[in-house]
Amino acid sequence: MKTIERINSKVAILLCLSLMMISTLSYAQQTKSTLFKKADQAMLDAKFAQADLLVPDEYNKGIENYRQAEKHFADQKGVEKIEESLVEAVNHFNRAVTFSVSAKSVFASSLDARSDALLAGADRSALETWKEAEEVFNKAARELEKGDRDDSYKYATEAIELYRKAELTSIKTDLLDKTRALLTKADDTNVDRNAPKTLKKAESLLAATERELETNRYDMDYPRTLAKQAKYEASHAIELDKTISKMDDRDMEMEDVILQYELPLIRIAEKAGFVAQFQNGIENPEQGIIKHISELQIDNNRLNAENIARDNEIRDLKTTIDLLKNENLLLRTEFDNEVKERSDSMKSKMLEFETEKARLDAKIEKQTKLNQQFEEVYLIFDKSEASVFRSGDEIVIRLHGFGFATGKSEITPTNFDLLTKVQNAIKIFPESSVIVEGYTDSFGGDASNLMLSQKRSDAVTQYLNANSDTEEDSRISSVGYGEINPVANNETAEGRKQNRRIDVKIQPQM
C-alpha cells in the first residue's frame, strides 16, 4: 500500500513539473510577441513601402538590430538589452519608410521599367541582364541614401536601359523565338493545307510584333500582347491541322463534324442547369453559358471580398480576446499575491480593464451598425450594375454597369440611374468620407492613362456633387490611378473592359 502511494506521489510530481514547463514555454512565447510587436509592425511597414529595394542600407540596419534582439531573447539577456536592440530596429525601419516616399518619386521611371520587365518574365528569361539591372539599381538607391543625387540619377538611368533590354530580350526569347519555331514546324508538316487562315493570322501577328518592337521601345504592353497571341495562333494552327487530318482519315461527313463539336456545349450546358438546343443555331446555348459564367464570377468575387473582410474581423477579434485573456490572467495573479500591498494599483488596472471592455463593446456596436448599413448598400445594386464588398471598415462599390467611351470622360444619360443609386448609397453613411477612383486598361502610355483616369473620376465626383440635395463636396474626393491595380487580364478585350472602371470607396467614421 505504501509502495502504491509512493508511486502515485511521483506521478503527481512529474505531472506538476510537466504543466509548469508547458506554462513557462507558453508565457515565453506570449512575452516575445508582446516585446517584438512594435518592431514586427515597423518591419512590415518597411517591406510594404519597398524600403528593402529603395533604402537598402537603412533597411538592412533595421534587420541587423532585429536579429540581434532575437539573439538576446534566445540567450535570455534581459528585457532591457532586448528593448535596446528593438528600439534601434524600429528607428531604422521608420527612417527607411520615410525616405522611401521621396525615393519612389525620384525612381518613378526606374520602378516602372522594373515592373514592366517583371511582367515580361525577364527575371526568368533574361536572368543575366536582370541581375545586372538589379545591381545597378541597388547602386542608385545607395547613392541616393548618401545624398549623391548626380550618381544616383546616372545609375538609375542605366538601370532603366538594362530593365528595358531585359524586357525586350524576354519577349524575343520567350515568345518570338518559340513562335518562329512553331511556324517552322507548321511549315514542315504542311499545316497550310488544312489551317491556312489561322497560320496566316499567326504570321501576321508575328510581323506586327516585330514592327512594334522596332518602332516603340518604351511601351511593351501592346507588343507583348501581340507576341503572346502570335504564339497561340501558331499552336492553334498546328492543332487544327491535326484535328482536320483525323477527320479526313475517319472519312467524317460535315454533319458528323458539327454534331461532334456540339457535344462540349451540351455537357457544359448540363452543368449550368439547362438543355442546349441547336434548332436555331449555336447562339442561344452560347449566350446561356456566358450568362451563367458571368453570374458565377460576380457571386464569387462578392463572396471572396466578404470572406476576406470577415476573416480580418475574426482575426482582429481573436487577437483582442487573447490579449484580454492574458491581461485578465495577469491581473488575477497579481490580485491574489499582492492584494494588501497593491490594492490601489489593482483597482486602477481593473478600471482600465473595464474601460477597455467598454471600448470593445462600443466597437462591436459600431461594427454591427456598419454591417447593417453594408447590407442596405448591397441591396441597392443589381449584380450587373456593381459589386459591393468591404475592405476592412471601408465599403467599396465597383461599378460594372458604368462605362466611358474610349478615350472620353463625359457622363452620358445612360449612367444617370446608376449614379443616382451611388448617391443613395452614400446617403446611408452621412458621416463618412468618399473617394471616387478611376482606372484604365494597360493600353496606351502611362501618363495619358493616368490623366484620363483622373478626368473620369473628376467627372463622376462633379456629377454626384451637382445632383446632391446636401453639401457633399466637402467629403467626396476623386483620384485617378491609371492602369495600376488591374482586376482582370489586360490581354483580353473582356479583361480590359473590366479594368476600365470606377470604384467608389465609402470610409465611415469609426
pLDDT, position 162: 92
Q: For the chain, percent helix, then strand, then coil, each to nearest 5?
A: 75, 5, 20
Residue 289 vs residues 159, 172, 266, 303, 385: alpha-carbon distances, Å: 48, 37, 10, 21, 20
Specify the 3-state DSSP secondary structure of 407.
coil
Question: Residue 335 contacts by C-beta under 8 Å, 6 or more apart in sequence?
Answer: 346
Higher pLDDT, 403 or 433: 433
Show the cell assigned to 18. 510537466
State what percent of residues in the chain have pLDDT above 70: 89
Question: Is the alpha carbon torsion for 451, 452, 458, 462 positive or negative?
Answer: positive
Give 336's DSSP letter: H
pLDDT at residue 183, rounded to an integer: 87
Please state, in angstroms and rounded to a whole number, the distance separating the CA atoms of residues 373 and 370: 5
Q: Residue 352 — very low, low, confident or very high, per pLDDT cuts 50/70/90?
A: confident
* pLDDT above 90 for 158: yes
* Helix, strand or coil, per DSSP, at residue 399: strand
Which of helix, strand or coil describes residue 439?
Answer: coil
pLDDT above 50 for 291: yes
Distance of alpha carbon 138 from alpha carbon 132, whole angstroms: 10
Pairing of the two strands 476-480 and 432-438 = parallel
Q: Can you tell me the distance from the alpha carbon of 65 to that of 85, in angstroms, rounded to the nearest whole number? A: 5
Q: 183, 237 in Cβ contact below 8 A?
A: no
Closest CA to 385 of 423, 417, 426: 417
252: phi > 0 → left, psi -120 to 50 → alpha, else beta; which?
Answer: beta
DSSP string, 230-274: HHHHHHHHHHHHHHHHHHHHTT--HHHHHHHHHHHHHHHHHHHTS
pLDDT tier for residue 350 given thresholds of 50, 70 and 90 = confident
**Residue type at 333 in one-letter notation:** T
Using alpha carbons only, give the angle 340, 342, 345 rounded to the nearest 5 degrees.
145
Sheet holding 394-399, edge to edge: 386-391, 394-399, 502-508, 432-438, 476-480
- Give the Å distances, CA to CA, from 371 to 289, 304, 365, 366, 510: 34, 16, 10, 9, 13
How would residue 218 be classed by pLDDT, with cut points 50, 70 and 90?
A: low
Dmax of the chain from CA atoms? 101
pTM (predicted TM-score): 0.42
Q: What percent of the chain has pLDDT over 90?
A: 26
Task: State yes or no: pLDDT of 249 exceeds 90.
Answer: no
The model's pLDDT over 37-61, given as tens digits with 9 standing for 90+, comes to: 898 999 999 999 999 999 999 999 9
Q: Report whether pLDDT(19) > 50.
A: no
Whether the pLDDT of residue 287 is over 90: the answer is no
Among the ranges given (5-14, 117-126, 161-170, 487-496), the one the predictor scored with the smallest mean pLDDT: 5-14
pLDDT for 23: 42
Strand 394-399 relative to strand 386-391: parallel, antiparallel, unpaired? antiparallel
How many Cβ atoms from other residues are within 10 Å of residue 46's Cβ?
Answer: 26
Q: How confident is the model at residue 209 (pLDDT cuts 50, 70, 90)?
A: confident
* Residue 390 CA: distances (Å) to CA of 226, 286, 312, 371, 429: 36, 33, 11, 10, 14
Mean pLDDT of 14-31: 46
